[in-house]
Structure 1
Amino acid sequence: MSYKLMPVLLAAALLASPAVAQDAKQKVKVKRKAKTEAAAAPEAAPAPAAPAPMPADHARTYAEGITQADLRKHLTVLASDEYEGRETGEKGQKMAADYIANRFKELGLVGPVQGSDNPYLQHFTMERSTWAGTGTLKVGGQSFQWMKDFYAAGNSPFDQATTLQPVFVGYGIEQEGYNDYAGLDVKGKDVVVLLGEPMKDGKPTLSKDEKPTKWGNDYRAKSALATQKGARSVFFVAASKDDFDKALTRLTPYLGRPSISFMDKKESRAATLFVSPAVGLKLLGTTEAALGKYRTAAAAGKPTSAFKPASVVVTAPKKREQFTTENVLGFLEGSDKKDEILVVSAHYDHIGIISGEVHNGADDDGSGTVSVLEMAEAFTQAKAAGHGPRRSMLFLTVTGEEKGLLGSEYYTDHPVFPLERTIADLNIDMVGRTDKEHEGKPDYVYVIGSDKLSSELYNIVENANKQYGPIDLDYRFNDPQDPNRFYYRSDHYNFAKHKIPVAFFFNGVHADYHGAKDEVDKIEFPKMEKRARLVFYSAWELANRDNRIVVDSNKP
């Protein structure tokens, strides 16, 4: 990384005008004692005040060390085929961990992990599971086929044949003015839920602006609600056979891949199964016409159901094995406020090799990872020159994000530094590309979560951008009703759930998201540099301000 010092400029135009010297030609009145006494010399005028130099802008000085060239240099390594897509627990992820740890060591950061064979690595044990491919589903004596009529995702409590008596909960939605769970106790039970949301004339009825809500776009919102209600599993019924077949075709390469969970943590999420409309009708013991009437009633806000789901026998076994993975940590001690910790995070894992193709994840999240490396160098340069930071910095690159934010969850459950001393997390996940919404438009970045726990953090990011940018700060995904739910989909969320203020910097998704063409040659390094510098400026203020930022809000 090239380290560029910016010359300090003098701002003469801002200086007060110096006192005007007395005109040398002006007569000076003097007292005379005698004709022979020489005239006294005139009193000397005060010398002009020397112009005061402007204070050095250290933030700008060190931010300019974050360069396109160095971002490219690191990303070209980490997002190369040699690293095999950096899948959690696999060879490429281990190689990436070593690369990052070695870079932290070169910079002079401290490895803060006690009891580890490498103090830069926080190891932990996980369980890897894959579907055995022998799942069965029987309803009323009729058998349905795995990966044709139904499939599952995530965990499974059905390694052995299990008889269920499901409960129908409509669309599985609960919000103001609409509640599919009203009067139902589903604790420990298995629920049947319709995918999608109530519609009338092709438009959603649960939103004021007729735009799709989170319930219609993201089954995970419904799964999370079912889990909150205590359900053991959720059977999602597709709206049409075409929808079911398209989803199955799209997901087949992923369903054959391992899922990962913690060894020492009981799975808390409800199991998730997806069934075709034909299986759904059989489950509910009804007809397509009757289900259509139910959908119409739900769209009118009056969902009523006489459906009595049939008894089900389900088997969905998984094969399991243990493995070890690791977060990578680099620590920079602060000065007078060193007991307070600012975290800068990114995930360095990606999704590996799928169907023989390496998915290098240059944007997701190679871009965030190398931004963290560059910020770490900028702050170490500043400290070496005696310019801070006042608070300590933890540069945290985590594993397992693509498997469910697992690395950041492990860190926040097993923090190296107490969470009560952690002032904020600035999370960088995908900052190297442009989404469809901003094609051909000026520089931008999505900022998510900065106002949810701290009004001061929101203002700090805004002010940093105004002073050193500006680029367009887009807050559309910060809306709690946004169906993409990005606030819950990256590593900052595991800090936020512990009431630690967060800001998530993101360029949005694009056609190559989780695809084999997310490569270095598509990264827009000028934009990436600006975004990384914005995070640096925000971090600089957080690390050096007099007061710790307040936690004064709790927005969804």
Structure 2
Amino acid sequence: MPKTLLLSLAAAAALSACKGEETPAAKPATDAAKPAAFAFKDALDPADFAEHVRVLASDEFEGRAPGTPGEEKTVQYLKAQFERMGLKPGNGDSYFQVVPMMETTADESTTMTIDVKGTPRTLKFGTDMVVGTRTGQPEVKIDGSELVFVGYGVDAPEQNWNDYAGVDVKGKTVVMFVNDPGFHSKDATLFDGNRMTYYGRWTYKFEEAGRKGAAAALIIHDTEGASYGWDVVKNSWSGAQYDLRAADDPAPRVPLQGWITGEQAKTLFADAGLDLDAMRAAAGKRGFKPVTLPAKASVTLKSTIAEKESRNVLALLPGSERPEEAVVYMAHWDHLGKHDGEEGDNIYNGAVDNATGVAGILEIAEAMAKGPKPKRSALFVAVTLEESGLLGSKYYVAHPSIPLDRTVGVINIDAMSVSGRTRDLTVVGKGNSEMEDILKPIAERQGRTLVEESNPAGGYYFRSDHFNFAKAGVPALYADGGTDLMEGGTAAGEAAGKDYNEHRYHKPDDEYDPATWKLDGTMQDLASLFEVGLALVHDTNLWPNWYKGNPFRAARDAMMAANPPASLKAAQAASPTDAAAQAKQ
């Protein structure tokens, strides 16, 4: 497939310099794109942004849990805002896309018994472990299931790595570490070293256990490897859990899945005559072999199951020349809801995560609607069930209102920084796609540089909704505020991030705070993402792709080769020399 990005402005030079590859001559930016990138960025209103956050994160919205009165308030608020702006329904004649879902609420009095060499030990839900099921069954029982330690639970043929080699785990309980083999071992030659790959995500590990036929899968928690503490695991797995129906999501499902604390794992391994740290070291080396433990697990998990539905909210600003092609702005509206029975403040308001992102796409939608008519369409998508495993975006990608081969690119906004202006701009998963080459000169005009996330081991690129688009091949940009604060530098920025992660992330204290929030930096970040979208909707020559070597590029190339968009064919016809050069790349 030819390289489809015809860069405008300074982005072509940036691509050539950054990637060290021959880049075809770029077409000049269209007259429409130039003024749009500057004249309307001031239309972003911090007061409006703050009001959206205040409303969405208020106690009245009860933490915006799917399937609750908080959802109804949220989706109706978003619909009303899009209607006020003059945007059209984005899903046919509706602003809503119904997402069928399954609600599963585990009995939190559940205990797990682990018998090691004939000596049983009881693990309590929330304190020692958490478990759940995606089967839709009101009772899942394992009785005397043999435990097998499978290292990091990874089967990656392209990495010549298989933690399941030589063992049949059908009907057994697999135990594994979170993150990748290269992380704890500090070996840069294993996978991506300190940068988490998709194999390090807990979602992958449970899916792989399901593919292998395991009866249960337990991940050993450690704060460094997971990038969050046990309280985040406990809060996220308590209360109602949501999933797509099996009919809408064919991914493999292990009957019982969950986590155990590092302390309980250490005791388990010691009782089995093994040292947890030594096993972690062994699992981080090539040639690791799974270890059958002299232990058996038993648990009866009872859950309340309900068939429900949630909604994505979609609004469309139609393009004047290529309305069938669209740029997608997205953010997830859901959060963790209200935890009945929990002492103290039990509303998880989700102000930063992710009322800020939703307020961001609302502000961009309004500003873009007031500007020149875009040549391409802009689709604004507020998705549900992100906190339940990126399910709303997964459903949309399977049922897109704009075909994926006509989706130019995706700009995801999730948990914006409220710490103030920065000298840098974080691109989560930096080095993935040519969307960055559009962002780079925009950031430079702001006096900022693009940097990767400060904790690449956290796997944040796989933890937000753009990832479902990426897996399908659509180039996706996920950028966030930097850490080098104008007031206080990197030390202050890192301290602010640590403070949020420890005290507010997935906790009731994630609330809107006008006294401490510094929205000047938030609006600067938003302006940069606004300009990326403006370039894409006003210049129909722009078709960003993944960088060479990226695992998502093959899917994009295949879809574009099968059914090339009219604007791509027109650009190639207008510049046959460029097209020939691209075809060689």
In the superposition, the TM-score normalised over structure 2's length comes to: 0.71
Paired residue for 1:397?
Answer: 382
The worse-fitting range, judged by mean Cα deviation, of 325-334 and 85-94 is 85-94
Paired residue for 2:363?
Answer: 374
Paired residue for 2:437?
Answer: 459
Q: Given the alignment, which residue of 66, 69, 84 partners 1:106?
A: 84
Q: Given the alignment, which residue of 99, 103, 110 partners 1:124?
A: 99
Paired residue for 1:261?
Answer: 243
What is the CA deviation profile of residues 135-193 of structure 1, one whole-angstrom value per residue up to 9, with x for unaligned ones?
44363584634426543145367924334344332343567576533334546754233
Q: Given the alignment, which residue of 72, 85, 99 partners 2:63?
A: 85
Q: Given the alignment, which residue of 528, 532, 536 partners 2:526?
A: 532
Alignment of 1:92-491 (within 5 A): 92-114=70-92, 119-132=94-107, 133-137=109-113, 139=115, 140=118, 142=120, 144-147=122-125, 150-153=129-132, 155=134, 159-163=139-143, 164-173=145-154, 176=159, 179-186=162-169, 190-194=173-177, 204-207=185-188, 214=196, 219-220=202-203, 222-223=205-206, 225-227=208-210, 229=212, 231-237=214-220, 251-263=233-245, 264-265=247-248, 268-270=252-254, 271-275=256-260, 287-289=272-274, 294=279, 303=288, 307-354=292-339, 355=342, 356-382=345-371, 387-434=372-419, 442-449=422-429, 451-452=431-432, 454-455=433-434, 457-467=435-445, 469-476=446-453, 482-491=456-465
Letter in 2 for 1:204: S
Q: Given the alignment, which residue of 466, 486, 492 partners 2:466?
A: 492
Q: For the Cα contact (< 8 Å) 2:49–2:363, is it kept in 1?
A: yes
Q: For the Cα contact (< 8 Å) 1:136–1:146, is it kept in 2?
A: yes
Identity among equivalent pairs (%): 28
Question: What is the CA–CA distance in structure 2 between the aligned matches of 1:135 and 1:380, rounded to whole Å?
Answer: 54
Letter in 2 for 1:127: M
Query: Aligned pair 1:551/2:545, yes or no?
Result: yes
Paired residue for 2:47?
Answer: 69
Q: For the Cα contact (< 8 Å) 1:281–1:288, is it kept in 2?
A: no
Question: What is the CA–CA distance in structure 2 between the aligned matches of 1:151 and 1:351, rounded to whole Å?
Answer: 16
CA shift at 1:526, angstroms? Answer: 0.7
CA shift at 1:517, angstroms? Answer: 2.6
Q: For the Cα contact (< 8 Å) 1:442–1:472, is it kept in 2?
A: no
Q: For the Cα contact (< 8 Å) 1:153–1:273, is it kept in 2?
A: yes
When the two structures are aligned, how many residues end up with a matched partner?
481
Q: 1:497 to 1:320 in 2, by over 3 A?
A: same
Q: For the Cα contact (< 8 Å) 1:285–1:307, is it kept in 2?
A: no
Letter in 1 for 2:474: I
Q: 1:267 to 1:172 in 2, by over 3 A?
A: closer
CA shift at 1:205, angstroms? Answer: 4.7
Instruction: Give the 3-state SS of the residue equivalent to 2:242 in structure 1.
Output: strand
| RMSD over aligned Cα atoms | 3.9
Letter in 1 for 2:139: D
Letter in 2 for 1:256: S
Q: For the Cα contact (< 8 Å) 1:152–1:274, is it kept in 2?
A: yes
Q: 1:100 to 1:492 in 2, by over 3 A?
A: same
Gaps of 5+ in 1: 1-52, 435-439
Q: 1:336 to 1:66 in 2, by over 3 A?
A: same
Instruction: Give the 3-state SS of the residue equivalent to 2:51 in structure 1.
Output: helix
Instruction: Give the 3-state SS of the residue equivalent to 1:551 in structure 2.
Output: coil
CA shift at 1:363, angstroms? Answer: 1.4
CA shift at 1:502, angstroms? Answer: 0.5
Paired residue for 1:513?
Answer: 505
What is the CA deviation profile of residues 339-380 of structure 1, one whole-angstrom value per residue up to 9, with x for unaligned ones?
111111111112222434322222111111111111111111
Question: What is the CA–CA distance in structure 1 between the aligned matches of 2:152 and 2:34, rounded to whole Å?
Answer: 59
The worse-fitting range, judged by mean Cα deviation, of 56-65 and 306-315 is 306-315
In the superposition, the TM-score normalised over structure 1's length comes to: 0.75
Task: Report the structure, 1 or 2, having the larger helix content.
Answer: 2
